[in-house]
Amino acid sequence: MTAPIQHIHWQENGADQTARWRSEAGMPPPKRVVIADDRTNADVAYRLACEGTALLWRGDFQNARQLLQALARRADHKHGKSGKKAKAPKAPASPTEAFHLHRQAQSQRARTLAMLLIPFDADYTIPLRRAPDVKLACNEAYGRSDEPFVASLRELLGLIGAHEWRRTGVEIAALGARIHPHYGVFSPVRGEYVQLVADTPLPAGASLAFDIGAGTGVLSAVLAKRGVARVLATDQDRRALSCARENLARLDLEQRVELIDADLFPEGRAPLVVCNPPWVPARPSSAIEYAVYDPDSRMLRGFLDGLAAHLTPGGEGWLILSDLAEHLGLRPRQQLLDWIAAAGLKVLGRQDVKPVHPRASDASDPLHAARAAEVTSLWRLGAA
């Protein structure tokens, strides 16, 4: 369902102004807006942003970027106004508390930094000095535009970064090729889970496979490259379906992978059903976070509950799942095992791998202890 169009209102040069408001993160339009330009002091801007007052930029674009960096430094509490380091916060009592405090801090930081706003013309031109050409990046994220609008500078920089990811792609060793993620589709930068799917022996007679939650299409491509004759890949996000379609065409696999707009399973049964659900049972704060956060483990439980009914006799379901939630105290291992048993399934085997992403070795990360202990597993499941 298309989100309703929202508008932002402000006063400028003694007159009331209004424009369309865009926020891919789902943030409501700020209620208070002031005009800011190259003369705006960073400390004043930060105070206003923390109070919920947005700053609509009318100065030099590159100066706006510098101001955003200044706001980020203040939000990160690296230095106070006096130049002294901020007082160290009290250590959380548990990994679960550390996780919730970290999420709370991330959310507050995002809201504060989103208060620096940029105007756009109807053709995605930014009417500011030294503004870059962002038409292609905006078209990829928003689609066609027919009216001026206002959005946060931070979101625009995210669009530009996503455009570069889409242009250059992510090298996937298991494919010997690149996958090009679209804006709003989770990028397969954590290659260990892809390698698990590439290395685990296929079940006998696996000429058909289901890929549940296709995303960029990377796992469908790996299965097709491994010799699975036909893959039915499902997703209910239009951006993901478009992204997967483009990647599969680039890899010359579109004839072997059929993309289906569906929640979880397609109709029928298959010898192999693969799913890499979001691994943290928490509420996402934006659409793209649904690739990481699974409220109440909805997708995980939906996959487990429906798997037996979609496997052929002797077939296997491959559940690719990080145990980060266990180390954060959000979902104990026994609960996962109980859900598997309750769904009429049994564990046939498990392949494990340690993540190699930078956060796993970043001691300054608030969740370092959990990330350092994290293991990603491919659970081979069969009907009990």
Token pair listed for 179: 């996958």
Assess whether 212 and 320 both reside in one domain. yes
Assess whether 149 and 187 both reside in one domain. no
Instruction: Please calculate the CA angle 122-123-124 and round it to the nearest 5 degrees.
Output: 95
Please say which residue of 135, 165, 195 terminates a domain: 165
Note the pLDDT of residue 82: 37
**What is the greatest pairwise CA distance in the chain?**
74
Assess whether 22 and 105 both reside in one domain. yes
Assess whether 292 and 150 both reside in one domain. no
Assess whether 148 and 179 both reside in one domain. no
The answer to whether position 150 is within a domain reads yes
Note the pLDDT of residue 361: 66
Token pair listed for 323: 């145990």
* Helix axes of 42-50 and 61-75: crossing angle, nearest 10 degrees: 60
Assess whether 176 and 270 both reside in one domain. yes
Assess whether 216 and 181 both reside in one domain. yes
- Give tens-digit pLDDT for 22-68: 998 889 999 999 999 999 999 999 999 999 999 999 999 999 999 99
In the chain, how many domains are there?
2
pLDDT lower than 50: segments of the chain? 1, 78-86
CATH of the domain at 243: 3.40.50.150
Assess whether 89 and 105 both reside in one domain. yes
Three-state SS at 119: strand
Note the pLDDT of residue 4: 83
Would you say 25 and 110 are in contact if contact means Cβ atoms under 8 Å apart?
yes
* Helix axes of 218-225 and 238-250: crossing angle, nearest 10 degrees: 30
The answer to whether position 1 is within a domain reads no
Please say which residue of 114, 134, 165 terminates a domain: 165
Can you give the C-alpha Rg of the chain in angstroms?
23
- The whole domain housing 223 covers 169-383
Quote the pTM value: 0.88
